[in-house]
Structure formats: C-alpha cells, structure tokens
C-alpha cells in the first residue's frame, strides 16, 4: 500500500473538505481550460491529476504522467487507468528527458518547482519539450526566496513573487494567476491581496 509522505496527494485517503486536496484539484480543473493535443503532466504523483486531464480535456490526444517513484506510478496505473493516459518513470530534471519522451502541445507541472534542486535543468527541459505555439501551466507556493529556509522539509526553497515571475522570460506570452484554496484569479483582479500560490500560463 502506498504510504503518505506528508506532501503526496492521495484523494482516496483524504477528506473532501481537505484544503490541500481542494487546492490541488482546482489547479487541474483550471488547467483544462488551456489543454489540448498531446499533454505532459510533470511530477504526476499518484495520477489523479493526469486522470482529470484524460477525462475532462475535450481536445486531448493523449496525456503522459511522469514521476520518479515506481511505487507511486504503480498506484497511478492501478487506480487511474484511462485509455488516453499513460505513466512513465523518469526524473523531471533528467538531461535526456526530451530524447526519452519527446515534445508536447501542453505541459503542466504543479507544486514541483520548489522541490527541484536542478531548477535550471528542470525549466530547460520544460521549454525544449514544449512545441512551438504550445502552452505551459505551472504553479508554486510563494515564500522568502531562493536559498532561504522555508520551514517545509520537503521544499528546497520557496520563491518570492518577483523571482517566480522572472523565470519565464523566454516565452512569447505569460499570464500570471494567483491561488488561495479553490479560488484562482488573474493578476489584474488581485486588488493588492496576498495569495499564497502563483500560477503561470505561458505560450511558447
């Protein structure tokens, strides 16, 4: 049986009122507004989000969930089978990831960046694996900044808002959103409110 590490989302073991569960599900349903074609779910975990994409994305060809942990992937394959999805074991910062799984029309990666020490390689992988004209949707929690302690033992660090916004200058268009629980709002509607999570939608 798959163990709960403290950050892993296992919907079957969580209450429907769980703030963390609601937050994670909301991001995938939000992403479905932008997804089409061949989709990559980077750091797909237990597979619930990949399954949401497979079931809810109207113009989907196929979605691949990538995770490094074989037990987590076994759980995903058993609990979240769908004919339009598959799961692959790989490191999201692998320098040969492009050669292994190819390019995609859309890439999603939620609450991954703060876990990755090889940040530049991870972001480079995403950029090169995204087809020209493709869409990236990525999220991360805000914190004190790069190389600063964040109080979460599972995170390398948590970016400031400005640091996060500076990571996507290579894209043709970026739109920033902010999340608090199930609520996701575009930057222009913030009204100086502080939201704990940033989401970017990039067009290459």
Round to whole Å and give the CA distance between 4 and 198. Answer: 25
Can you name the CATH fold of 15-203?
Rossmann fold (3.40.50)
List of the chain residues with pLDDT < 70: 1-7, 152
Q: Which residue has the tokens 């979460």?
A: 152
Q: How many CA atoms lie within 13 A of 48 on its CB side?
A: 17
Triad 62, 175, 149: Cα angle to 5°: 95
Kindly list the domain boundaries of the chain, sorted by start residue: 15-203
Residue 57 Cα distances to 38, 51, 132, 186, 190, angstroms: 11, 10, 20, 21, 28
Alpha helices in the chain (DSSP H): 19-31, 48-56, 70-79, 97-101, 119-129, 161-165
Contact 42, 65 (CB under 8 A): no
Q: What is the pTM of this model?
A: 0.93
177-200: per-residue pLDDT in tens? 999 999 999 998 887 788 999 999
Residue 147 DSSP SS3: coil
Angle in degrees, CA 111, 22, 119, rounded to 5? 0
Per residue in 50-64, pLDDT tens?
Answer: 999 999 988 999 999
State how far the alpha carbon of 28 is from the alpha carbons of 3, 11, 99, in Å. 23, 14, 26
pLDDT of residue 155: 75
Residue 13: its pLDDT value, please?
85
CA Rg value for the chain: 16
Neighbours of 132 (CB within 10 A): 8
Instruction: Give me the residues paired with residue 135 across strands.
Output: 106, 203
d(CA 146, CA 142): 10
């Amino acid at each position: 049986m798959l163990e709960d590490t403290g950050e892993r989302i296992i919907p079957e073991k969580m209450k429907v009122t769980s703030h963390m569960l609601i937050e994670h599900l909301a991001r995938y349903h939000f992403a479905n507004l932008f997804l089409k074609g061949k989709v990559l779910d980077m750091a797909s975990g237990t597979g619930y989000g990949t399954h949401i994409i497979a079931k809810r994305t109207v113009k989907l060809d196929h979605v691949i969930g990538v995770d490094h942990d074989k037990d987590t992937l076994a759980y995903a394959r058993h609990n979240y089978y769908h004919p339009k999805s598959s799961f692959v074991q790989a490191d999201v910062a692998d320098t040969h990831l492009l050669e292994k799984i190819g390019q995609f029309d859309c890439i999603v990666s939620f609450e991954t960046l703060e876990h990755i020490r090889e940040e530049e390689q991870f972001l480079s992988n995403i950029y090169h694996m995204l087809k020209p004209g493709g869409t990236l949707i990525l999220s991360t929690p805000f914190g004190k900044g790069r190389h600063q302690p964040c109080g979460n033992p599972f995170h390398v660090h948590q970016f400031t808002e400005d640091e996060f916004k500076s990571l996507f200058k290579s894209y043709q268009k970026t739109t920033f959103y902010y999340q608090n629980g199930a609520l996701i709002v575009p930057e222009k509607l913030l009204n100086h409110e502080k939201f704990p999570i940033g989401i970017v939608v990039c067009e290459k």
